[in-house]
């Protein structure tokens, strides 16, 4: 049952497995892009497989040049490329690719090996990798079939280097280095919000300071090692509950983890940078809010719009909630912007927010009037950039947390792969209690960037209608981040963040 809830929990954003499915798929040709290596006097072998989508790239391990590139196609999406034998190769999945080599990359591994040597014994053979599935705990992909089980294919060890022509697509520790402000919400353990500052040096060693939890100082931490994978996944030391993901512009990060009180938490980080002024607050904002209380009655979600105008007055214009309480409409409060992008509210010393570097997103924690704890994500309404369902196309990594259900206050993360019609498939879904699966779902987006959900099922059966009816999502102006709230139909409420 938990897995179903989680699944529901993040339809809005997510299935990651598809990303890694790099190796697999698609009706391709031999590599003919720049950097193709032809080895005189050798034969060829065909590499084929299945993936959830996007591009598969073969790299000559000796030269670091591109040896082949194909795009998966068909149903299921498959690929095939013919490569010269007598070489050693590394394979990468690139997803959400843009101009040139802009995209996220996942190296393909079999065990500890990502270098595959092909001798002449592989001549004229077809090496079928099967479905290449992601491992989001390791930031790579692995094939269902062992390529070393085919004639002429041998393990060549590990080579973690990124070929120069793909270096612009790969994330590195330098992208994590710096100062990050974060806001988080724990829905179990010590229930409540926390905000603070994360520092990471060039070796990946980090520490958290200026920690405030539910209005009270919290002990700092230091000497915490972080790891960064080429696809943008972030790990934290030997804590296998922490799973982070960097935004494409490398200035935001979403993460889930089990904190040191045993609580399931969603964390949202903003990298410091740029200058901010009071008028950066002004405009129309869409918001999504999750409330964590001690039980179902004291938890919930809300979404709506508010305007902020000079000198700093914020007014709630519209709202929908889990229990149809519209009493906040017309309410107002005052907000102030610091030069470092920290947002506060006079008269409410629990209100603490940060603004993104692009000034189109804010994340806020606070204690509500009822004494319960809120995490709120606000995104600027962009009237100048119309949206459509096709903007959902791509692979989205989602992170979410559930409140309001004492039997299921868990975090979850995974990937959602969306086609141009809004059909979504989910892979690599993981919750606090382990991996879970989910069936396809259907989404739509209107011209304002509002995302709705309908159709199909999840888990082992049909999706609870309440989830589709209550689902409220929104896409940011850059069209590479989503946020959503909803009731899961099993007594829980969810908020999730999806990053392309």
d(CA 12, CA 27): 30
- Amino acid 201: pLDDT: 98
pLDDT in tens, 418-442: 999 999 988 889 999 999 888 888 9
- Amino acid 370: pLDDT: 85
Report which of 365, 93, 139 is spatially closest to residue 245, judged by C-alpha positions: 139
pLDDT in tens, 115-128: 999 999 999 999 99
The residue with tokens 């259900």 is: 405
- Amino acid 53: pLDDT: 67
- Amino acid 436: pLDDT: 87
| 363 contact partners, CB below 8 Å, separation of at least 6 | 183, 268, 270, 353, 354, 375, 376, 377, 378
Cis-peptide, bond into residue 384, ω within 30° of zero: no
- Amino acid 98: pLDDT: 64
d(CA 312, CA 316): 13
- Amino acid 23: pLDDT: 33
Q: Which residues of the chain have pLDDT under 50?
A: 1-41, 457-463
- Amino acid 482: pLDDT: 97
SS (H, E, C) 9-31: HCHHHCCCHHHHHHHCCCCCCCC
d(CA 64, CA 338): 47
Beta strands in 96-191 (DSSP E): 104-107, 116-118, 126-135, 140-143, 153-155, 178-186
- Amino acid 186: pLDDT: 97
pTM of the model: 0.88
| 10 contact partners, CB below 8 Å, separation of at least 6 | 398, 399, 400, 412, 413, 414, 416, 429, 484, 494, 496, 498
């Amino acid at each position: 049952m938990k897995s179903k809830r989680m699944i529901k929990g993040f339809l809005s954003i997510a299935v990651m497995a598809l990303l890694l499915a790099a190796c697999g798929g698609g009706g391709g040709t031999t590599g003919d892009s720049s950097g193709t290596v032809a080895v005189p006097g050798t034969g060829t072998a065909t590499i084929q497989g299945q993936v959830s989508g996007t591009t598969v790239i073969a790299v000559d391990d000796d030269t670091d040049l591109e040896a082949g590139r194909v795009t998966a196609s068909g149903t299921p999406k498959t690929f095939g490329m013919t490569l010269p034998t007598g070489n050693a190769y590394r394979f990468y999945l690139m997803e959400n690719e843009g101009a040139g080599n802009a995209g996220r990359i996942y190296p393909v591994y079999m065990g500890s090996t990502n270098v595959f040597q092909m001798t002449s014994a592989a001549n004229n053979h077809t090496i079928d990798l099967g479905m290449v599935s992601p491992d989001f705990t390791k930031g790579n992909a692995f094939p269902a079939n062992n390529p070393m089980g085919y004639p002429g294919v041998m393990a060549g060890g590990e080579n973690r280097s990124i070929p120069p022509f793909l270096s612009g697509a790969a994330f590195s520790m330098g992208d994590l280095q710096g100062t990050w402000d974060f806001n988080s919400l724990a829905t179990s353990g010590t229930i409540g919000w926390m905000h603070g500052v994360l520092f990471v040096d060039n070796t990946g060693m980090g520490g958290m300071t200026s920690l405030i939890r539910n209005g009270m100082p919290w002990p700092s931490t230091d000497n915490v090692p972080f790891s960064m994978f080429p696809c943008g996944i972030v790990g934290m030391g030997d804590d296998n509950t922490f799973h982070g993901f960097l935004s494409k512009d490398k200035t935001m990060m979403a993460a889930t983890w089990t904190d040191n009180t045993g609580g399931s938490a969603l964390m949202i980080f903003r990298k410091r940078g740029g200058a901010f002024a009071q008028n950066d607050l002004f405009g129309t904002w869409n918001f999504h809010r999750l409330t964590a209380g001690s039980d179902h009655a004291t938890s919930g979600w809300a979404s709506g719009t508010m305007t902020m105008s000079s000198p700093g007055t914020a007014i709630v214009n519209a709202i929908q909630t889990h229990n149809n309480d519209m009493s906040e409409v017309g309410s107002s409060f005052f907000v102030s912007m610091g030069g470092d992008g920290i947002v506060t509210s006079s008269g409410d010393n629990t209100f603490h927010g940060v603004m993104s570097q692009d000034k189109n997103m804010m994340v806020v924690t606070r204690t509500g009037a009822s004494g319960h704890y809120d995490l709120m994500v606000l995104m600027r309404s962009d009237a100048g950039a119309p949206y459509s369902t096709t903007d959902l196309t791509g692979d989205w990594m989602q992170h979410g947390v559930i409140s309001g259900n004492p039997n299921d206050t868990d975090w979850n993360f995974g990937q959602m792969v969306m086609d141009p019609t809004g059909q979504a498939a989910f892979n690599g879904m993981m919750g606090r209690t382990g991996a879970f699966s989910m069936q396809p779902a259907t989404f739509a987006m209107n011209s304002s960037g509002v995302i709705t959900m309908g159709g199909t099922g999840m888990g082992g059966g049909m999706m609870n209608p309440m989830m589709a009816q209550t689902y409220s999502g929104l896409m940011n102006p850059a069209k590479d981040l989503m946020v959503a709230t909803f009731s899961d139909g099993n007594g829980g409420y969810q908020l999730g963040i999806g990053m392309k």
